[in-house]
Amino acid sequence: MPIRGAFAIVVDKSEEGRRLDVVIAARLPECSRSLAASLIAHAKILVDGRTKKPGYRVKPGDEIRGHIPPPAPVRFNPEPIPLDILFEDEHIVVVNKPAGLVVHPAPGHASGTLVNGLLYHCPTLGGIGGVLRPGIVHRLDKDTSGTLVVAKTASAHENLARQFKSRGIQKTYLALVYGEMAADSGGIGLPIGRHPVDRKRMSTQSRKARAAETSWRVRERWTGITLLELDLQTGRTHQLRVHCAALHHPIVGDPVYGRGRSAFQHLKNKGRAHRLCERLKIVSRQMLHAWRLAFTHPQTGQWVSFASPLPADMEQLIAELRNNA
């Protein structure tokens, strides 16, 4: 749990020129830099009795005093939701999120989320990284399955958030897409932003797009369907779904960006195409799985990697494609 209560710090020579929020986070390891910056901005932390900005460059002898308030009460109820835990220690927990499970509460999903289950499993999670998304440093779409890391301490949250921002975390996905890729590997760098008309969708034609990079490799091919391994260099909303659609190979089962008819427009064997179309009609969600997540452990500094096995629905569809090849 983060340190709570009053504190006093005297800056020494070795800290000269460092940012005020950085010094506080370094001296109080369980107080994240973001929390320190917020307290400074709200005049809850003073330097020699005066208000400063989080970016103030400290000088030797500066006396920093402040008070870290207790965490705000968590608004969401813990719920005994089963969790598939891949790894856990005092600092992080890595879970295999099933498709259909929302990551954190939001309008329309006030309960039954991964956060509700995490709060039941780890009661001290409340207040880590904010009450709206306790412990969450990244997310997966409701109907995307796979590997997700959650911070159990403020310092772990700050460290992981920094790794995601600096692109220091490797995120590898598996996806079944319509059609047959012309090459064995490639990349796409189209920027992504809000759709100019439908604000619930993302688009590569947005007027306010942000840089987005995805690389892909073919894992397996069948008539009309390809299994891809995808690496995210960035983490934009719906990035893989939008990029695959932009390549004219939308993800199988994607209800928003999928265009199923285009999958079979080049097939000569109409009978096989028809059978495959009938099978794909019962796919109830996008066939996208966050397979592997690799990063630097926020406490030990060791490079760690975690992988989630394919979910049953995706594994079954792949088995059928192999059997009918």
Segment-wise mean pLDDT, segments of 10 residues, the chain, 325 residues = 72 93 82 84 94 94 88 73 96 97 79 92 79 83 96 92 92 95 94 82 86 96 94 92 94 83 49 70 91 97 98 94 83
Tokens describing residue 144: 């995307």
Give yes or no: residues 140 and 80 share one domain: yes
Tell me if 298 sits within 8 A of 156, measured CB to CB: yes
Residue 298 belongs to some domain of the structure: no
Domain boundary among 19, 42, 68: 68
Give yes or no: residues 223 and 134 share one domain: no
Please measure the distance between the N-terminal and C-terminal CA atoms of the chain and give it in whole angstroms.
54
Angle (CA) 270 274 276, round 5°: 120
Give yes or no: residues 251 and 182 share one domain: yes
Give yes or no: residues 154 and 248 share one domain: no
C-alpha span between 255 and 142 (Å, rounded): 12
Task: Give burial (CB, 10 Å; 0-12/13-18/19+) of 241.
Answer: buried
Tell me if 236 sits within 8 A of 192, measured CB to CB: yes
Give yes or no: residues 196 and 140 share one domain: no
141 among known catalytic residues:
yes
Give yes or no: residues 280 and 217 share one domain: yes
How many separate helices (H) and strands (E) can be counted in the chain? 7, 14
Select which of 12, 21, 84, 141 is catalytic: 141
Give yes or no: residues 154 and 179 share one domain: no
Sign of the four-CA dihedral 9, 11, 15, 16? positive
Domain boundary among 68, 94, 111: 68
Angle between helices 20-27 and 33-41 (to 10 degrees): 130
Residue 306 belongs to some domain of the structure: no
What does DSSP say about strands 225-232 and 170-178: parallel, antiparallel, or unpaired?
antiparallel
Residue 39 belongs to some domain of the structure: yes
Tell me which residue range forms the domain holding 29. 5-68
Give yes or no: residues 272 and 227 share one domain: yes
Compute how many other C-beta atoms are within 10 angstroms of the C-beta atom of residue 236: 19
Give yes or no: residues 142 and 205 share one domain: no
CATH number at residue 247: 3.30.2350.10
C-alpha span between 285 and 289 (Å, rounded): 11
CATH number at residue 16: 3.10.290.10
Residue 267 belongs to some domain of the structure: yes
Tokens describing residue 9: 């710090």
CA distances from 298 to 123, 138, 199, 308 (A): 20, 15, 36, 21
**Torsion of the alpha carbons at 251, 257, 260 and 263, rounded to the nearest 10:** -60
Residue 308 belongs to some domain of the structure: no
Look up residue 125 and give its DSSP letter: G
C-alpha span between 119 and 94 (Å, rounded): 14
Total domains in the chain come to: 3
Give yes or no: residues 184 and 81 share one domain: no
pLDDT at 1: 37
Give yes or no: residues 178 and 281 share one domain: yes
Residue 22 belongs to some domain of the structure: yes
Compute how many other C-beta atoms are within 10 angstroms of the C-beta atom of residue 154: 26
Residue 310 belongs to some domain of the structure: no
Tokens describing residue 251: 């993800």
Residue 183 belongs to some domain of the structure: yes
Give yes or no: residues 205 and 160 share one domain: no
SS3 for 145-173 is EEEEEEECCHHHHHHHHHHHHCCCCEEEE
C-alpha span between 245 and 36 (Å, rounded): 42
CA 207 to chain centre: 24
Domain boundary among 110, 141, 166: 166
